[in-house]
Structure 1
Amino acid sequence: MLQPWQDTTLPAPVRAADLLARMTTEEKTAQLSSVWLGADVDTDQAAVAPGQHAFVAHSAALEALLPHGLGHLTRPFGTVPVEPADGASRLAELQRRIKDGNRFALPAIAHEECLTGFAAWQATVFPTPLAWGATFDPALVTEMAQAIGASMRAVGIHQGLAPVLDVVRDPRWGRTEESIGEDPYLVGTIGTAYVRGLEAAGIVATLKHFAGYAASRGARNHAPAPIGPRELADVILPPFEMALREGGARSVMASYNDIDGLPGHAHPGLLTQLLREQWGFTGTVVSDYFGIAFLESAHKIAASAEEAARIALAAGVDVELPAAHCFTAGQLPDDLLDRAALRLLTQKCELGLLDPGGEPDREPAAGEGPIDLNPRTMRDLARAVAQESVVLLANDSGVLPLSDGLRIAVVGELADDQAAMLGCYTFPRHVGVNHPELPTGVDVPTFAEALRAELPGAEFVADPATADVCLAVVGDRSGLFGRGSSGEGCDATDLELPYGQGEFLDKVFARGVPTVLVVLSGRPYALGRWADRAAAVVQAFFPGQEGGPAVAGVLSGRVEPSGRLPIGVPRIPGGQPAPYLAPPLGRHGDPSNVDPSALYPFGHGLSYTTFTWETPQCEAPELATDGGTALRLTVRNTGDRPGTEVVQLYLHDPVGTVARPEVRLVGYARVPLDAGQSAEVHATFPADLAAYTGADGRRLVEPGALELRIAASSEHVHHTVPLTLTGPAREVGHERRMRCELRVK
């Protein structure tokens, strides 16, 4: 006879509560625990920071937990290289052991990284999230995420540790490449699109890092975040709120940093009062790797592992990742233990793991053939994202697109290096670097290889002095904890090109040969020294395994450039954050001799064709504080080749009760047009988007004048539309409208 917790006709919370009531304290605790197999503390196999190896679990931890069950399995594919079919078989066998070992036959939730695709050997490597932001294409990001999620579910994975929704405040931060950009609306809409795709494939999306991680002092990894409540409310939190409300994310990861002395893993204001009580989140909060142990070892707010566990559990952390350390160190308070275990069991129920027999084994059937994690469909998607993410920053000389009969010199140490294409959380750079004896697992053409294939009629020469055009390739190699120039723990003191590439460029430009600057990087770098001398400038943010052909295609003109900057490119390397979202005093002016203006601003990007934007029509320039209005604009391709314009809508508030950004993005749309073709862009603007947090902590829509700026970037405004908000000031909360919908007809 089935027990209520096995009855698939009952709601998941009811089933989970029935099961919880039958569990011992040890069984409940086991559900909050995880095991990381294959992470060898005696070698450098595990992708962890120096000093973290002591916390990694061995098989002994699994054996100790088996009689009680297990909450999570950590990265069964993403720890060491494993053939996909072997990995699926091993995971299925491990799940059988886990089910056979506990009296309720419960399997574990298997989680993996999926920031640039499924982080497994031989799986498709997609562009890094900063490149997603450059596409300004949520629909494509959703399609990509759904394909990634489907490949993960096919081999038995349940949860993905993505997307990163941190809004970059200072690009010296090493994890800039993992973020989507410097604007909360762009991060929110693109991040939500990724969540929708992952969740549609049956994978639990995990929002990270909650919250303030990218706002650290000095842009240092794990450093304190010196932000006030208004910046937290209006810049840092909206992407998370949107991804939960609209995307349906079922998990949130706490953050390493502290805010005003309170670490993210010990912050009940964020993890309980805001996330659950105000936003109504019902999923699971997981720790960042070793984040609970860090309360003792790094933050020094706990005297023992047991105390760290109690603090984190009370704050609202439900599951300890990547390995059992603190939650199994001592007795946990019964009420808090029950609260967290109920959440985890409810999620397992939603995943089908409480159903009779548990989840079916996902081994390939006899005769099915090998598992392909890099099929043609995935490679095509990776190339589509890469192509849309390449940004043409400058082309004043008209040297681009390149013709096929030129004499071309390709210079720069990254020109023929696969690393220039791959972000820190790609399998080859995250784990594969520890296994130099193995091939990359997927084909990753370098820039030079891709360009030669793209232009078979060109003559490639070694001496730039004899060339018609020189392509100077610079940028980053990603890595972990100082083993690269970009990536987790690879923070920068300034925004000067690494590896002496600035001096290299000085020598290249001194030759006087027309030179195209190609930047393949994980963050923007200061390019002011060379911008006036470059024949053209192209930027790509770690564009993945198909990135070489994508960049080469843009240079040849086979691919029309349509990427836009998700983060500004600075003029000077001094570490000044780009001025986008800055209030008036944060921009260039008389009080300081330093000009922090971006060389290429947020939203900037050029095309090989030309566009005209006709005067927009506004339905109602006067609207109530609880109302909205509609706009329409005609965009025409006036050139002789197809192209895609990206229409961007910015809000300017002339007078506020607190200092406000000069402009902030509130809507955008990609507009693909053939030569001579036109299209109408329709925008629906809700007054809720004018809301901001005042000095008293309330988010208000206030009456008064506003200005909508219809623009090609945050600085290149085509048209302004004055608006007037009427009626009383109105407080808005979690129910507010967060989008300006733009449709192309």
Structure 2
Amino acid sequence: MKTVEQTWHDTSLPAEQRIAALMEEMTLEEKAGQLGSFWIRPEDENQDGESNVAPMADTFAGGPSFETAIKDGLGHITRAFGTVPLTPAEGRERLVELQEQVIAANRLGIPAIAHEECLTGFTTLGATCYPASIAWGATFNPDLIGSMAQRIGADMLKMGVHQGLSPVLDVTRDYRWGRVEETMGEDPHLVGELAVAYVRGLQDSGVHATLKHFAGYAASQAGRNHAPVSMGPRALEDTVFPPFERAVREAGVKSVMNSYADVDGEAPAGSHRLLTEVLRGRWGFNGTVVADYWSVSFLHSMHEVAEDEDAAGLLSLEAGMDVELPETTAFANLARAVRSGALDQEVLDTAVRRVLAQKLQMGLLDPDWNPRKAWLGEDVELDSADNRAHARKMAEESIILLRNEQILPLRNPARLAVIGPSASQPRTHLGCYSFTNHVYSRFAEQQDYGVPMVSILEALKQEPALAGSQIEYARGVDFTDLDDSGIDEAVEAARNAEVAVVTVGDLAGLFGRGTSGEGCDVVDLSLPGRQGELVEAVLATGTPTVLVMVTGRPYSLGKFADRTAAIIQCFMPGVEGGPALAGVLTGDVNPSGKLPVQIPNHVGGQPGTYLASKLAWHTEGVTNLDPRPLYPFGYGSSYTGFEISELELSEKEIATDGTIQISATVANTGARGGAEVVQLYLGDAVSQVVRPRRWLAGFAKVQLEAGESKRVAFTVHADRTSFTGLSGKRIVEPGKFTALVGSSSEDLAAREDFWITGKVREVAEGRVMDTPVSMS
């Protein structure tokens, strides 16, 4: 006869039986312990809001000690690596010691889940930092993103980390929002495709992914972080939910994190509708829901829907929350609540079973598990040559050529002026959640980035194509400092040059310590600081000017574009960004990136994305304001030419549950090899609710040699035309539709109509959400 402990340790038994045996053994306090977490933060973080790496971290100082927090067990260890600079060996040893303390302190010896941020790479000192998420969107290449995630996960796993707090699936709605750089763009299909690839890649490595932020976070009023979201159920269902649903259904994601912002007055951390009815009831999610940091407490202190911390904890747990992060605050008295009758024990037990199931999947409940099993030798390489090569490829494929008046590639000008703050500061290549910008910049010297990086300026100096050029650098201005005394030097450098390369944009930070990133929101889309004046001054010299944007969001370029010789848009390209940009400027790399967000013509008129109805687009005679972009969603040029033609539909009519194949030929008409993103959009002629003019239904990145052509075929199910009708139900409506194929949302030379016939069909849960693509 097996003991209870032998039963839950027996790996040959079904998971449910093992968990049931363990639950039978646990006290209420031990169960509640599995729903909590602990974050060992530096002392200055507890006292100085300027050093926060999470919102209002200083507000929650002075909690229980680690020893007190772990006495009945612990659900999660929070950010053992990504809080202070530690070498890989130091970080790994620290986590091992924490786990050993957790195991020793609780009667049953249950380890904790160790989680870490991993949006642009494993957030720890010395790890490869890949491009920001907005740059993933610019690649339009899910395979690249999946391969990156697998590498990130493999590095995390060998360091003892079990769960990554990524990816961000918020669909961009307002470019002023500071966290645009963390999104993959403004289209739910693009975000969904990349999300599925990232989740599969990370989880195939053995690390659990965490979707965030569920839901509506990116649509905050005026683009302000944590601001309320004024959004109806139709926009939620048709624009915000799809990437999350796909990651749950198609990729089997293991964890989901809630959004901070309230949606039409409903705070997601306390929303039974979102966390239980939608996520679990409709989509079949069976993993854990973890709280964004302190969001459970915010139900009391910020949203004011709970009278105190304990009430906030009960509200969130009953809504479907499983684990409070980053520390146990509102969940501290759950056992007492069960004993007093304020909390149904089954609600507590349900959450505990989910956490234990996750730990069992990770092997943490196996009898031979110990934290030193992950120790794979004395040294661990987190910035390998293979990682670097992949980071370079991602950077290269994400760079977007917006304009080129036959000046690029640069042809060894005798005198080249390189101007602007981005040229000499490699930190501009990195996102807010890179370790360098998120943590290390608060501890290190200005020129120490924690990982080797080459600036744009240094990379240009190393380019063989510019070996004969005299390169002069002038910074001109800073990112935010209003001192413009350096503009005169920049102007002089430009006047003395044959070509000027002006690099401007963002330096990511947190809560106002940068121009982009969490809490770094803007009032309009003017270039930060005095960078606009710098661009104007250089353009006024008459020297042919290449404008290089290194940013986390799109900025208005309408007043500059026509006077530039070329424009390159680069979205925070990661540690290999300098060489990648130099390669594009000199022609070693043929740019193939496409815009995952639009480039605005003017600084205001926000929010507004390409998913616009006719009234939201240009309407002459109705308003004097023209919201159309300078460069549309999906746009990006090349050093070769492409032509998309011969659009063909397999059918002219399909049923409301039918399928149509839409194919076209893409040809490289230029003199060198390159890649084109063939984009399929659909438009609905008449529908019962107002719909976007068109929406992305499929895409394929096609590599072609000079003179080569390929046939691209999209298989489109009628579900891809579905929407939330007047009844609130998802429907496919019969009628006339247009298939449009081209190179951006506005460059669509190939178009054909087809009809969906029959009666209106109500679409059941589990609809077709992908568009398979084949090439020949």
- State the TM bucket, normalised to the shorter chain: over 0.9
Which residue is 2:402 aligned to?
393
| Aligned partner letter, 2:406 | G
Match of 1:595 in 2: 626
Q: Indicate the residue corresponding to 1:55 in structure 2.
A: 60
- Counterpart of 1:580 (choices 578, 591, 610) is 610
Alignment partner of 1:651: what SS?
A: strand
Aligned 8 A contact 1:105 1:358 in 2: no
Q: Does 1:630 align with 2:641?
A: no
Give, as a single letter, the amino acid of the residue that structure 2 aligns with 1:87.
Answer: G
Retained in 1: the 8 A contact 2:132–2:571? yes
Match of 1:352 among 343, 352, 363: 363
CA distance, structure 2, for counterparts of residue 733 and residue 464 of structure 1: 62
Partner of 2:683: 652
Determine whether 1:64 maps to 2:68. yes
Q: Given that residues 172 and 575 in structure 1 are in contact (C-alpha distance below 8 angstroms), is that contact kept between their aligned partners in structure 2?
A: no
- Between the aligned partners of 2:355 and 2:375, the Cα distance in structure 1 is 28
Inter-CA distance 91–57: structure 2 relative to 1 (3 Å threshold)? farther
Contact 2:180 2:553 (C-alpha < 8 Å) held by counterparts? yes
Are the structure 2 counterparts of residues 521 and 391 from structure 1 closer, same or farther at C-alpha, using a change threshold of 3 Å? same
The answer to whether 1:170 aligns with 2:174 is yes
The equivalent of 2:412 in structure 1 is 404
Once the two structures are TM-superposed, the CA of residue 66 in structure 1 deviates from its matched residue by: 2.7
Structure 2 unaligned residues grouped into runs of 5+:
338-342, 474-492
**Cα distance 1:620–1:57, how it changes in 2: closer, same or farther (>3 A)?**
farther
Contact persistence 1:47–1:431 (CA under 8 A): no
1:337 equivalent to 2:368? Answer no
Q: Are the counterparts in 1 of residues 228 and 264 from structure 2 also a CA contact under 8 Å?
A: yes
Tell me, yes or no, if structure 1 residue 6 matches structure 2 residue 15.
Answer: no
Letter of the 1:610 counterpart: G
Identity of aligned residues (%): 49
Q: 1:472-511 to 2 correspondence within 5 Å?
A: 472-511=502-541
Say which SS state the counterpart of residue 450 (structure 1) adopts. Answer: helix
1:270-313 Cα distance to aligned partner (Å, 9 max, x none): 00111111111110000000101111111111121101101111
1:258 match: secondary structure: coil
What amino acid is aligned across from residue 136 of structure 1 in structure 2?
F
Would the aligned equivalents of 2:655 and 2:758 in 1 still touch at CA under 8 Å?
yes
Question: For the residues of structure 2 that align with 1:715 and 1:437, how far apart are their CA atoms?
Answer: 46
Counterpart secondary structure, 2:542: coil
Q: 2:324, 2:609 → 1: CA distance? A: 38
Offset from partner CA, 1:532-591 (integer Å, 9 cap, x none): 001010001111110111111111111110000000000000142344011110011121
Give how far 1:43 is off. 4.8
**Other-structure match for 2:761:** 730
Structure 1 CA distance for aligned equivalents of residues 17 and 530 of structure 2: 61
Question: What's the offset of the Cα at 1:490?
Answer: 0.5
1:361 aligns with 2:372: yes
TM-score, length-scaled by structure 2: 0.94
Q: Is the 8 A contact 1:131 1:540 kept in 2?
A: yes
Letter in 1 for 2:17: V
Within the candidate set 565, 586, 589, 1:559 is matched to 589
The Cα shift of 1:9 comes to 2.1
Offset, 1:504: 1.3
Give the secondary structure class of the aligned counterpart of 2:402. strand
1:533 to 538, 563, 576: 563
Question: Structure 1, residues 475-511: CA drift from partner, whole Å, max 9, x if none?
Answer: 0111100111100000010001001111111111000
Matched, 1:445 2:472: no
Q: Secondary structure at the match of 2:421?
A: coil
RMSD: 1.5
Distance change (3 Å), C-alpha of 1:57 and 1:685: farther
Partners of 1:206 and 1:14 lie apart in 2 by 26
Match of 1:309 in 2: 313
Alignment match of 2:19 (pick from 7, 12, 16):
16
For 1:545, give the aligned amino acid: V
Closer/same/farther in 2, CA of residues 573 and 559 from structure 1, 3 Å limit? same
Residue 715 of structure 1 is matched in structure 2 by 746
Question: What is the aligned partner in structure 2 of residue 203 from structure 1?
Answer: 207
Amino acid of the residue matched to residue 393 of structure 1?
A: L
Task: Find out whether 1:239 has 2:243 as its counterpart.
Answer: yes
* C-alpha distance 675-56 of structure 1, shift in aligned 2 (>3 A): farther
2:698 is paired with a residue of what secondary structure?
strand
Say which SS state the counterpart of residue 325 (structure 1) adopts: coil
Is the contact made by 1:36 and 1:57 (CA closer than 8 Å) also made in structure 2? no
Match of 1:38 among 29, 38, 41: 41
Alpha-carbon distance change, 138 to 84 in structure 1, aligned in 2, over 3 angstroms = same
* Residue pair 1:88, 1:362 contacting (<8 A) in 2 also: no
Does the Cα contact within 8 Å between 1:39 and 1:45 map onto a contact in 2?
A: no
- Give runs of ≥4 in structure 1 deviating > 4 Å: 43-46
Mapped partners of 1:246, 1:39: distance in 2: 39
Shift in Å, 1:721: 1.8
With over 3 angstroms needed to count, the CA separation of the structure-2 counterparts of 1:122 and 1:44, relative to structure 1, is: farther
Counterpart residue identity of residue 239, structure 1:
P
Distance, in Å, in 1 between the alignment partners of 2:317 and 2:375 is: 39
Among 414, 417, 427, the residue aligned to 2:422: 414
Q: Is the 8 A contact 1:16 1:342 kept in 2?
A: yes
SS at match of 2:416: strand
Are residues 1:102 and 2:106 paired?
Answer: yes
TM-score, length basis structure 1: 0.97
Deviation by residue 1:143-169 (Cα, 9 ceiling, x = unmatched): 000000000001000000000000011
